Amino acid sequence: MHASQLITVLDGQLNDLAARIDVQGQALVQQSRLDPLLFSTRGNRLGDYLSESRATLSHLTSAVEQGRTERVAWLAQRLTDQMLALSRELATQKLRQERPSTAPAEDIYARLAECQDYERRLQAMIRDRDSLRSAADDLPRARRLQQEIAALEGPLMRCRQALTRLEYQIERRERGE
């Protein structure tokens, strides 16, 4: 697919997404549910994130005009990921509105314990693979183990972010907010 065709397709998909967001309305959300590595926006409306996606499309168009192929590929992937994230969030809006936003305190503590257990297991898996990697006597096996370690670090990071959010919720609850 030629770059100009790619931009046309992505622009059309972004416009379709914008129409779906407009139909559903601009409901406020309590906190951002979209990946902070994917969006720099910290708004509380999907329209705020849509605006950032439009800016990404604009940057993509500029990169195509400048002939920066590596930048085009990166921006196209980023825009696609942003649109997928917005679509998922849009699809779950109704479910989120139906579900009460505050959970009983016991649930938060149970989720905290589960996350802490999950974090310990991930750390143990990383340590095990790291010790196997350092003892590996052939390069392909060491590389494979290093890839496994890198793959485990993503879930570990997300787990730690969840732990931080849960600890913040508990702290707020204990202060009576």
Can you tell me the mean pLDDT for 152-162? 92
Give the Å distances, CA to CA, from 32 to 15, 38, 97, 122, 142: 22, 12, 14, 26, 39
pTM of the model: 0.54
Q: Is the pLDDT of residue 161 over 90?
A: yes
* Across 85-94, 123-132, 148-157, least confident range: 85-94
Q: For CA atoms 72, 74, 80, 83, give the dihedral sign.
A: negative
Q: Give me the pLDDT at residue 62, please.
A: 93
Angle, helices 3-24 vs 46-66, to 10°: value is: 170
Average pLDDT, the chain: 85
Dihedral pair phi/psi, residue 62, rounded to 5°? -65, -40
Q: Give me the pLDDT at residue 86, please.
A: 85
Q: Is the pLDDT of residue 175 over 70?
A: yes
Burial readout 140-168 (b: 16 or more C-beta within 10 A, e: otherwise): eeeeebeebbeebeeebeebeebbeebee
- Each residue's pLDDT tens digit, 2-21: 778 888 998 999 999 888 88
- Each residue's pLDDT tens digit, 71-99: 988 998 999 998 988 888 887 776 666 65
Can you tell me the mean pLDDT for 149-159? 92
Q: Is the pLDDT of residue 29 over 60?
A: no
Q: Give me the pLDDT at residue 160, please.
A: 93
Q: How far apart are CA 4 and CA 28, in angstroms?
A: 35
Dihedral pair phi/psi, residue 117, rounded to 5°? -65, -45
- Each residue's pLDDT tens digit, 136-149: 889 999 999 999 99
